[in-house]
């Protein structure tokens, strides 16, 4: 984990934002900017975690708002998130937060 955090910290196109209550981390959001030839840059939420005990208090929404601000500050106009098909509660959260379902994909991966 430390190696991953160190790598992210050295990359201007990456960020991890955290939410704390009483000096305890209760949530985080992992962000990156994607650059591809076929489309304008977009920021990507790589992960959004809020501790079970801290859910339903607006922390996820605050982290998403901070992610939107981070994205705009980089001149990027789109923020994207991918969510596993079985994570229906996460889907409902993003839909309530103003995200629109724009595509359904199947992910392929090859171990190297």
Query: Domain of 86: which CATH number?
Result: 3.40.630.30
Structural domain count, the chain = 1
Cα separation, 27 vs 55, whole angstroms: 9
Nearest to 43 by CA among 68, 16, 17: 68
The token duo for 5 is 């955090």
21: β partners:
24
The token duo for 42 is 């977009």
Provide the pLDDT for residue 88.
93
Asked whether residue 102 is assigned to any structural domain, the reply reads no
Cα separation, 66 vs 53, whole angstroms: 21
Provide the pLDDT for residue 92.
94
Q: What percent of the chain has pLDDT over 90?
A: 80
Provide the pLDDT for residue 37.
97
Asked whether residue 40 is assigned to any structural domain, the reply reads yes
């Amino acid at each position: 984990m430390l190696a991953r955090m160190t790598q992210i910290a050295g990359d201007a196109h990456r960020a991890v934002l955290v939410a704390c209550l009483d000096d305890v981390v209760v949530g985080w959001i992992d962000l990156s900017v994607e650059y591809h030839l076929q489309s304008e840059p977009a920021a990507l939420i790589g992960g959004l975690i809020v501790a079970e005990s801290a859910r339903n208090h607006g922390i996820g929404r605050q982290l998403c708002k901070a992610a939107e601000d981070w994205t705009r500050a980089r001149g990027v106009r789109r923020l994207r998130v991918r969510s596993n098909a079985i994570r229906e509660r996460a889907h409902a959260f993003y839909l309530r937060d103003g995200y629109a379902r724009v595509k359904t994909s199947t992910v392929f991966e090859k171990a190297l």
